[in-house]
Each structure stands twice: as C-alpha cells, then as structure tokens.
Amino acid sequence: MSDTLTSPSALSILSEEEQLFRQTVREFAETEVKPHVMEMDEAAKFRPDIVAKFFDMGLMGIEVPESLGGAGGSIFLATLAIEELARVDASAAIYVDVHNTLVNNAILRWGTDEQKQRLFPRMTTGLLGAYALSEPASGSDAFALQCKAEKKGDGWELTGRKFWITNGAEAGLFIVFANTDFSKGYKGITAFLVERDFPGFSVGKKENKLGIRASSTCELILEGCQVPAGNVLGPVGIGYKVAIETLNEGRIGIGAQMIGVAQGALDCCVEYIKERQQFGKPIADFQGVQFQIAQMKVELEAARLMVYNAARLKDQGQPFVEEAAMAKLFSSQVANRIAGQGLELFGGYGYSKEYPAEKFFRDAKIGTIYEGTSNMQLQTIAKAMLR
C-alpha cells in the first residue's frame, strides 16, 4: 500500500503524538474493520462489535475532557481518526465522525453541567449518538423544519418526523431539533436531548443507499414524544445557533472522511496498476497513467492540507467557518475525481465488486451532499468574501 502521509510535507505538520495516534487507528482499521468491509456493505449493516471497539479504543470521546470520561484530545486528532477509518471504510468513519463532531461537540458547547455529568460517562463508553435536524422539506433550508415542540406540564411534547438520520438504527441518544413557536420563525427552533426509550419516540424506515451502506440512515418518528425539561439543549429558541455552530465543526469531519476515501481509492489504484499487464508491461509504465495518478496525489495532498488547516484553526480558537466550508467542498470534489478516475484505471474490473474501486466510487458521492451540499458551501464561502 502507498502511504501519502509519510511524505515530508504531510509529516511536517504532525507531532510525534499525532503520528503515533494515526498509526494506531490505521492498524486498528486494517485488522479489525477491513476484513469485514465487503460483508457489511453487502448486508447494509455495521457490526455492533466493531462499534463497541470504537468505544473501547477511546475513539468516541476524543474531544471530551478527561474529567468527563473522554480522551481530552482535539478536533485534529478526531480528524486523523476519521480519515484513517475512511481509508478502509467510509461507513466506519461516519460512526466516529457523527458521534464526535456533531453530538459530543454540541453537548460540550451547549449542555448544562448537569447534562454533561449525566451523559458523558455514557457517551464515551457505549451510548451512541445521532443528530436529527433534516426533514423532507428542510434539507439545505434546514430552518424550514416542521417538527414541533409544545410545553406540557414540567416537560415538552415533540411531534413530527426526521429523515436521513445517520446512526439512527443504533443510537441511544438523539439531538432533535423542533420549533417551539412557529410565529418566531427560525428563532423558535430548540434542541432537545431525546433518548431512545422516551415514550412517543420510535425509529422508522432504514434507507437502502447507494454508498456508505453499512452506516444506518433512518427515519425518526415522534408522536407526542415526552421529553423532560432538563433535556433542553441550550436555551429555548437558540436551536438555530446550536445547529449552525455544530455543523461548522461537522464539515471538518466530512472533509476528513473524504480525504480518507480518496486515499483508499488511490492506494488500491496504485497497487492495481503495478500488477495489471497490457501490451506486455504493467500499465503503471505508461506515461499517460503515471500522469493521472500524479494528478490524483497532488489534489489529495492539497485537500488534506485544507482539512488539517481548518482543524488546527478550530483547535486554536481561531475563525474557521470559511476554511471548513472550503475544506469540505474541495475534499468532496477531490474524492469524487480520484474514486472515479481510479475506477476507470481498473477497466472492467473497476465496475465489479471483486475489487474495492467501485465501493470507493459509491462512498465518495455522499460527500457533496450531506452536512451541507456543495452549493451551500459555495454560498458560505461567498458570503465570507463579500461581508
């Protein structure tokens, strides 16, 4: 396997601790995840024992302070973990990504001390999280959501449906966004911490997807779901801020997924072209092929540095929203180009499930869609430029 991360330009921005962490996650991905990737993709189901190992390794509380049972790490370390897992299987990376960058991050930023003390010992040891914002009529227009929340006695009652919720089949805790006062528009939106066993809550249809098939994507059904008052995340009516700020960090995670997918696609492509014979020699000997893989590496390195830069800025408390949008946009474009070109270099075999090229191709596409489409990233970048 080729290893772009051992190039001087990439190594120069990784500390010894970060390199060791990256290598540990890579070895885990190769030994514990890779042998089951094709089986999980075909079954469209992720192995529960691997999710349990994510928790055992401390990968589900990377940014959570040690005082709350986490690793006390950084978004940069989370980025490295997501990237290395996606290099082997994008579905594996998504479990770690959503749990860390969306769910844990939102609770750390907006949760009360009581909520943190109550949830984090569980969130870092076995309780999987999910983030429920999307609805059929509110994708890019996230604040057009119709899920409503009504005050009932000492608590709240939530009614509505959520769609395309990652980790939905397995999660035990859901951050659900609902509107408490439609007359206030998006300023009525509030975030709620909903546990799976709350009355009135259920998980509906699981989507049969093109890519990231082993990652569950489900409908959530709230029929008068009873939520205690102590489970409001952030002040009432501030849910739009919770959503925006959380998704800003989440885009770094998606960028990490995409550079991981791109690296995996490039790795298998380089390995294949060294073996594939045409006209009496390996196709890697043809200059036209060499130029293609060289261009792939250039674009991947550029995307990786953009993602790493956004993560570093976030860790340093610097503005990072524009950089995260650019990293998410470009890394998803690069992943699609590399996965597509790599598949073509496999020839007919690329279209077969006998080789991993077609899976990387399928897994790459989602990067241009979820946690903000490419057009929405362009809008964010343009607004930052024109303000």
d(CA 118, CA 262): 38
281 has which bridge partners? 278
Q: How many CA atoms lie within 13 A of 116 on its CB side?
A: 19
d(CA 270, CA 82): 22
d(CA 285, CA 276): 10
d(CA 33, CA 19): 20
Q: How far is CA 10 from CA 97, 269, 363, in A?
A: 22, 21, 24
Backbone phi and psi for residue 237, each to the nearest 5 degrees, phi listed first: 90, 5
Packing angle, helices 239-275 and 287-315, rounded to 10: 150
Radius of gyration of the chain (CA): 21
Tokens of 30: 């190769």
Examine the residue annotation and report whether 299 is marked as an active-site residue of this protein.
Answer: no
Query: Is residue 109 exposed (0-12), middle (13-18) or buried (19+ Cβ within 10 Å)?
Result: middle
- Catalytic residue ranges: 371
